[in-house]
Structures are given as C-alpha cells and as structure tokens.
Chain A
C-alpha cells in the first residue's frame, strides 16, 4: 500500500514536471509546426541559471526561479530571430536538423561555461522536508511540483480560453492564413508564444531538477521524453498533453519502482503502442 502511494505521488509529480516543460513545446508545435528538438535545451539553460543564482550567488530559490525564466527568454529571443524564423514552414527534416544543431551547440557551450558536473539547485527551506498527512508523509517538493503543474495548466487554460490573446492564438493554430487575413498579426502571436514556451521550459527545468538533474547532456537525454509527450498528447492540445504526461509519468515511474532492471523498456513499448493506436495523439484531430 505504501509503495502504491509513493508511486502515485512520484508519478503525479513527475508527470506534472513533464507537463510544465513540454506544454510550451506542444503549443509551439501545434502553432508554428516546428519540430523543436532543442526545447529541452532551454529547460536546461533555465536550470543552470537557477543553480547559479541560488547556489553561487545565494540569492534564494524564488529569485532563482524568476531569473531563470527571464534570462532564458532573453537568450532565446536572438536564437528565434536568427535561426527559428528561417525554418518555419520548411520540411520536417530541415527542422529536425536545425534544432538538433542548436541542441548540440547548447550542450557544448553549457559544458564549456558551466563544466561537465551535475548542478544542484538548493531548495528554499520551506520546500525541504516532508509534509505529514497523518497516514503517510510526502516530500514537500513533490507537492510543490504538483501545485506548479496545476497552476500552469489552469493559467494556460485561462490564457487560451478566456483572453483576447488566446482567441488570436487559437485562430492562428487553426488556420494561420485565415487568422492573418482577419487582421491577427501572426508573427507577434508566434513570438509571444515562443517566448512563453521557452519561459515555461525554464520554469519546468528548475522545478523539475529533482527528477531531471541539470547537466550538459540534459538537452539530449530528455529530448525524447518531451517529444514523446507532445506526440502522444497531440500537438497543440493542453488536455492531451496533460493526459499524456500523467499517463507516461505513471508508466515510467511504475516501471522504475517495480522493474528497475528493465530500465525504460516498458516506457518505450507503451509509447510505440500508444502512437500506433492513436497516430495523431490522444487528443489529435484526424487529418
């Protein structure tokens, strides 16, 4: 029973972290049709910045979180301007190559600047320790990750369903040419969405550093996980991404607890099975 409970909490927290990082990728992929393999790289940059601010400068976890989001977006803007703009609308292979190239560069530079070792982000004192639920204790950080995931899901839902920008965003996802004809400045929608996606990745990279430790190969190691989430959920779908994260988080965590000797075998088997049954994702629209 205790194992089941720990697995459930870990799976939920892990799934939420995946969600926070991947949702930006899902939205930009649905919106701009860019297969962005470098998305994990931005989460990693966020993790490095937070580690530097919280550990080396000792400015605290909250400030580290904010700095990570802000500076990652600042780093991403020129990359978007100079490189991503050129591959919008290009064939998939071109996008894959360009973004793999960006990923390799991010890894190489991160290693050069920060060194090959694993970086920790010291948690705020209030997030350390465990919460006692009476029958069981849960590490507070897990609760924090779950809360962040829920907050992001709710915030995004509100932003997309209830705000003016959300209407423009949905229109652009649906039919970019039509939206542009109706006077939506799609390039601004794209730029804002890209910045938001990168910011969320950085946020997730910091919050999730307990699950996905920050080191130079982060960008490559978890690239697949994030892509899997998006394609299983269906690009551009928030409920789909949430469902995919919780499902895959559960499969992965259960596999690790119960059959660690099989590694991620069952995770990938599940991914293949899900995509074969739902080729356009859990919430994908049939083409």
Chain B
C-alpha cells in the first residue's frame, strides 16, 4: 500500500538550536499511530511543521504523494491533512450544528456563498446531523457551545475534524482536560473513527495510547528514537533512558 502521509528528513532549527532533527515518518491508510515523548521533545514543533504553521529548515512533507512543504496551512487542510487542538478552539456563541455545518460547507467549497444558509441545504444538514448523531451530540445540535460540557466540546472538535473528510488526522491530546467520567465516550469515538483514515495521536495518557495505537513513535530531543509496536515500547532501552533519565534501570528493575 502506498503512503498517504510521509515526512522525509524534516529538520527545524531556531538559530543554532535544532528542535526537530532529521525526522522521517511514513503512514498508510488506516494507520493508528501514537506520537509520544517527554516534555520538550519537540512534539508541538513537529505538529506545527507538519500542518504548515512553521517552515522547516530542510526536509519534505508529502500528502498522498504530493509534496506540500511549500503549501500553507489552509492548503494542507484542503488536501486532507486536518488537526484537532489540545485545548478546544470553538466559537462560544455558535451551535454544534453551525460548527459542523461550517466545516462541511468549507470542504465542499461553499463557505464563501453569500446567500441561503446551511439550514436551507438539506444535503449539508443531513451530513451534519449524521455526524453529530455518530458522536452522540445530536440532542445538543442547536445549543450554544458555551452551554455544553467540556467533554462534549472535545467530541465536537472530533466531529468538526471528521466533517472535513481528512485522509490524515492529527489529534493533539484528544482527551486532555476531560473529566474521568467522560473519557469513555471519547475513547469510543476514537475507536469508531473511519477505518481508512490515517490517524496520528499525540498523547500523554499511556493507557489510551495502548488501547488506541497500533504503532507508537517516540520523539525525544527532536529525533525519533523509537518506531514500532506498542508492546515493544516499554522494553526499549533508549525510550526508558529518554523518559526516566539515569534512573531508567534502577527504577524499573527494582
């Protein structure tokens, strides 16, 4: 199977400080990758480089075999690379239906139209209600976002991302800040993501990583130090070194 998403020898330096060093990653449709790493490993920089918010010093990003390194953030979204945010970024005075509707309209190239609204477009509304229903938000479709719970807002973030019909989805800590009682629903939603979608999830919660990911990538000090099966990650000496420093052996052998 050919790769839908490739990062090739990506490098970023701020002045003399190298924050992303020669990172390469390749994903096929249906991949479930968890990107983990200790604080300061360069995960945020990596996301910014991939989404186009930062320009790499060298290297390439490819989406479905098309180089997108020189394409801006919006162009990459239009080509199927969609991200979610670690802290929800929603419009407080708009409803979930409006959020998802806006995403559907944007995807179908109708967000610049000056007449009608999504309520008058049955095809759009059908898709909106369908997505909201799938994520258990149907009953809140016309509530203002400010009135709904944080866990539901996280689900709405997912709904918006899915409405853009991505081929690659970057999830930045999808369960961050959600109370324990609601994480089940988020995990359920993650488990039900479209099978052909390539997903990269940045996550700290290792339980979630092990349940979700079929492949784990560990980033430390700007380089990939591990890329393999979840089962092997805790056994890897370099990963233990990166997370636990000099306590690695002492701590885990005891």
Direct A/B contact, Cβ within 8 angstroms = no
